[in-house]
Structure 1
Amino acid sequence: MLRNPIRSSLYVLLPGLMLAACGPVPDSSEPMEPEALGVAESAMCSNAAVTNLTLSGVSTYAGEMAGAGTYAVSYPANAAFVAFYIDGVEASSGRASGDATGTWSFSKSSVACGTRTFTVTAWPMVVASDGSWSKCTGNPSMTITRSVSEPCPGKCEINGRTYSNGYVNPSSGCQICDVSQSQTSWSFYGAGYANKTGYCKPLVNGGAVCAGGSKAGQSCTASTDCYLRCSELL
């Protein structure tokens, strides 16, 4: 029996039209992107809180800042997530070591010299038996902030500002930045030196002799003997 050629063509065409209208068939061989494990808050965080956060010490040496401390969280939290900031910029973050109580530590190299602000903040975490976790960012957290100072080589770091070696104290011309004496405070301009009209000069005959005040003309036995007030000196 002869087939109707028109009907046969429709049988071939219709499935193609249906596929075009419905879109491509999903390729089951392509893996589904896994859902990110609990970085978002969940109902498990209810009533969780950080109950204690300590900083046992933080310091900077040769450009490396390091610190350590402890934490404690309340049920149902069983871990802590900590973030560390230097001058308000996040330096690192992650889960602290331990369970409901534990320790944290921080270390970072190439930290600029001078005075830096170090901050550590802890949030409660809930870690499930399958390893998924929830950081409870909306729950009570704790923060500790400390100032950390490391003088820059050849400079003084005084009251949060950096001065070059030899810089005269704007508030007292009797003092300068002298890194050989101190990098964290103003130094007197050597034994037997005094200020006059904004600069320093040797006292009479270059000797350490007081030029004014109740000890005028006497030999200096301590810095406070000779360096009274600039107005009292030669």
Structure 2
Amino acid sequence: MFGGFVGSEQNQGSDWGEKLLNTVASNTISHLFTRSDRVDVEVRCNPSSKLLQGSIDSFRMTGSGLVIRREFRTEEMSFETDAVSLDFSSVLKGKISLKQPTQAIATVKLSEVDINRAFSAQLVRQHLENLTLPQLTDLSGGQPVNFTDIKLSLLPHNRIELFANADLGNRKVPVSLSCTLGIAKRRRILFQDVKFEPKDIPEEMQDISETLTEILGEILNGMVDLDRFNLDGVMLRLNRLETQGKMLVFSGYAQIERIPQTG
């Protein structure tokens, strides 16, 4: 669905070049996502004649229900670029090619439901299944270990609670922790101050559960790295994150070397 800025009355008086760029930009952005509920695109260019020289003031996208790489859904996403210099001849061919890199500020909202669904994605599961770390196989009698049934709850002040089961091959041990979310080097999500939460763990399992909690915390800390999610030609970086009710909100920026053609 493409509405909002693209179909606004302000654009009715734009010349054919600006209308063409709006159409090409909308098509390009939509192809970055597996599916979407809404995508609105606005190209700002005043006067519009600058477009013929490949100069636009900014480019803005807002969207909701955007699914990235078939498995990662975002509740909302928006970004707005600095001034952009592009090759207008590429627009005539239905593409957008930048003459020089640009930056964009970005905001992403993830719902608690979508975060929990992401724990089932293959890109995430590969860090949680068939684990053969020495400290784990010592507990499982040499069998690979799987962390399953992960449920994360968002709390105020950037805190979370997380519950999971550790499948040790011959038995399952519940694991429960709380921690604070943070950012490292603007690209990694940190699970800081991991604390074992024994209240829902059977007393006879608490010792091994506490050990497994520490190991799971270490795994989580090495798992979420934005460089694994970068689109071709786009580098993502985070400035801050914040829990807002049942939403986790990220703000940051993107360094755009070229416009990717697919997600």
TM-score under structure 2 length normalisation: 0.29
Give the TM-score taking structure 1 as reference length. Answer: 0.31
**Structure with the higher helix share, 1 or 2:** 2
Structure 1 or 2, whichever has the larger Rg, is: 1
Of structures 1 and 2, the one with the larger relative CO (CA 8 A, separation 6+) is 2
